[in-house]
Structure 1
Amino acid sequence: MSRDLALVIFPGFQILDAAGPIAVFEIAERYRPGGYALSLQAPGGGEVASSSGVRMTAAPLGPGPFDTVMLSGGDGTRALADLAAITAWVKVVPARRRASVCSGAYMLAEAGLLDGRRCTTHWGRTDDFARRYPKAKLDADRIFVRDGDIWTSAGITAGIDLALALVEDDLGADVARRVAQQLVVHQRRPGGQSQFSALVDLGGRTGRFADLMDWMRAHLAEPLTVERLADRAAMSPRNFARAFAAETGTTPAKAVERLRLEAARTEVETGRAPIDHVAGLVGFGDPERMRRAFLRAFGQPPQALRRAARA
């Protein structure tokens, strides 16, 4: 049975939000002919310009019913008033399930479809999203989230992860695995999207603490207390902690842990040193402490990430 799938775009959409899932469903169709009937749709139809200027041709929003409706994201979602036609349509169009890529979650939320639902969106939009839609149960670190018949995904390339999960749900794990192999991507990407946030890596919103971050990376094996970091920044501990949090959006302790996780993950996935040695090398000291940090950040212990990297 062919599953009718409507992928919705709009002026200013992110082209990979559409192209990534399209590629997944196209290749799934090769392995399971008749699995999907995909249509690209937009309010009014016709040529639609992406944020890059590249255009895609879409049909007008259809009456359904659809098996799946998927909304792309992109810069165009910053002007939600211009997307009212999609918001109104997605709320009422008959569909077995609804999904969004990246900031496409804004349209689901505007339609009230995320009230009381677990969801995610691009890490760079999570603070704004949480303020606008307090009824949604935002999980900012997830690559994708399924809550019943509502599926949402994190930023841009996570649309591929979401589409693979939909294929697995529809056609089975073997087809999803073969599609992922053809695309040369993980069938199930390890970890959450916080690992991709550049805020702390850049030293904050203005780069005020960039030099300090570089120094921290070079001294991860040493004690990095607030007092020591404040001294390095020529500030009092209290003022430093307040300024650092305002600049980076996180506490000094969490920033230290994230930098240690960054270094530890690289060692775990590319090196051969024992896990206990890696824990000492990057400053965790206790391997159990590092394991708990990995579970919080990546959802898997170091040993699992090493096995996946070697596989």
Structure 2
Amino acid sequence: MRPFDEEQQSFNKSSLDEETLLSGQFWGELRVFLAVAKTKSFNRAAEITNTSQPTVSRQVKRLQDVVGSQLFISTPRGVKLTQKGEALAQALSRLDHTLFSITSDLKAESREAEGTVRVSITDGLNAFFAAPALVQFSAQYPKIQLHLKNPLNVMNLRENQTDMMIITMPSESSGIQFRKLGQLHFIPVVAKDYIQKYGLPTRNNLEQHLFIQSEYYLAKTGLWDGWQQAVSRGRVAHHCDNSFAYGMLVKAGHGIGLLGSYTLMEPCAVPLEIGLRISVPLYLIAFTERLNARPVRLVFDWLSDIFGSNNPWFSDELKLNNPPSEYDAGFRKMFNLEASDGNSSR
């Protein structure tokens, strides 16, 4: 029996009749291929798909045999898509987004405040603000589940397969709505333990100090030039591209890091006066069609409040000694920082 109406002959004679394409194994290999294409890494793709690197390599090789084309080229900096691989990745990405939108809409047909809302947010913003504030939000809307994800692509909402994302540049794409939030202020920070071991870094002695570098700050946009110049005067102790681990390296006293000003809530963090301050605007973007679902709209408005300019840490003017507020109360309570605030140097 044909799966489609007899009048739709174009479907009946399509490649869906090919047993290989109908197999679950083939669709699984396409999913693995898309993970490699997005991350440019077999190891990272293995983490995302919850499998092993040899399994990823084996599935990609079998997929290449099935389609009869080489999809990747290995380079010293990771894997690179061939022209055929790029075309397949783009097609799969569109299909992936379509399927995600359809399933999300089916799950959220109800306008009741119930369902799962997916949010792409960096580790730092999540740990200091979103996660602690979720206690109160969940008490008000107990049937809304948040899926908080570290973004795979900090500029592309569709690639992250989430309903919304906090970014530093507005998106003008069709079908996407954005809202201006507050300012994210980056400052050079060092741990008290580092100062005890190496002394206080100043504008005049950076040649004697260690830095924690990130590939994110190496972007040639002009925004990070001041940081790159400061790092060039000293020595890079470690590189780290995971925002949470980056902060932990700084906290452990391994070197000077460039962090959001809100990390000064940590009693061990000391801001440095080396003539370096970088501020970038924050935006919350979401799929317009998903905002029609009440749970998504509620989370959108909730995040807009947390990361808006009313939050002292994201106000237009950088302040290093913000008093405790409702926006960071959750973090301070979780880590019992209220008592230590009076003893922490700023």
The structure whose RCO (Cα within 8 Å, separation 6+) is larger is 2
Larger gyration radius, structure 1 or structure 2? 2
Same fold (TM over 0.5): no
